[in-house]
Amino acid sequence: MRAPVLVAVLAFVLAAVGAAAQDKPDALELYRTGKYAESIKVCQQELAEAPKNINSHVVLGWSYLRLRRYPEALDIGQKALAISPNDPRVIQIIGESYVFIGKIEEALKYLQEYVANRPNGDRIARVYWLMGECFISLKEYQNADIAISAAVYYEQNNAQWWARLGWTRELANDLKWSSEAYSRSLKLDPGLADAQQGKERVDKKLKG
């Protein structure tokens, strides 16, 4: 085969491969645009072709979490853990799944492991918030305060989390700082009912 012909054939093959790659759905992009069910389908197809593809496991787990399909998220997380035991993304998926399934002690184990291994990870704010919710469930309000305070340090414009911090401090009878947290929440979202009601309760106690 002459060189010009060979070059033309190679160019055609590479163009075909590139076109096929562009036509293939991107599971992560689907996830990022909120198309979680579609992302799940793509991940499942990818795993049928490559069962040990850790990225497909991770995006699948994230998509299940977004759809609140926690048992399935936990299952895929545990399968991914067998493939990549130290992947912080997998550890976070398992920890979050356990939170919403109600296995608090197990959840804390994995969430704390994420913090230890990835203190500045992409999901560190959410992990601290989840830890705070776990500690609230265990009535460990000081630890809950520390965890949720860390969450709002990383994500300062989250009105819901500031309201939860107010609630945590209210439970601990730390009324002054509870009122402050509720106020921060209301500055971000003046219509947030939990913060409105919480601040009214706390300020009434402070005046009484």
Assess if residue 59 is contained within a domain. Answer: yes
**Among 15-19, 44-48, 111-115, 139-143, the least confident range:** 15-19
Distance CA 41, CA 29 (A): 13
Percent of the chain at pLDDT exceeding 70: 89
Structural contact between residues 156 and 125, judged by C-beta atoms closer than 8 angstroms? no
Q: What is the pLDDT of residues 96-115, one digit of tens each?
A: 999 999 999 999 999 999 99
In-domain check, residue 187 = no
137 part of a folded domain: no
If one counts every other C-beta atom within 10 angstroms of the C-beta of residue 113, the result is 17
77: domain range?
A: 25-122
Number of domains making up the chain:
1
Query: Domain holding 82: CATH number?
Result: 1.25.40.10
Instruction: Give a yes or no: residue 128 inside a domain.
Output: no
Residue 12 has a pLDDT of: 55
pLDDT score for 14:
55
Stated pTM of the model? 0.86
Neighbours of 84 (CB within 10 A): 16
Helix (H, G, I), strand (E, B) or coil at 99: helix
Query: What confidence score (pLDDT) does residue 19 get?
Result: 45
Q: What is the pLDDT of residue 17?
A: 47
Residue 94 lies in a domain: yes
- pLDDT tens by residue, 134-148: 999 999 999 999 999
Q: What sign for the dihedral angle of Cα 127, 129, 134, 138? A: positive
- How much is the mean pLDDT over the chain? 92
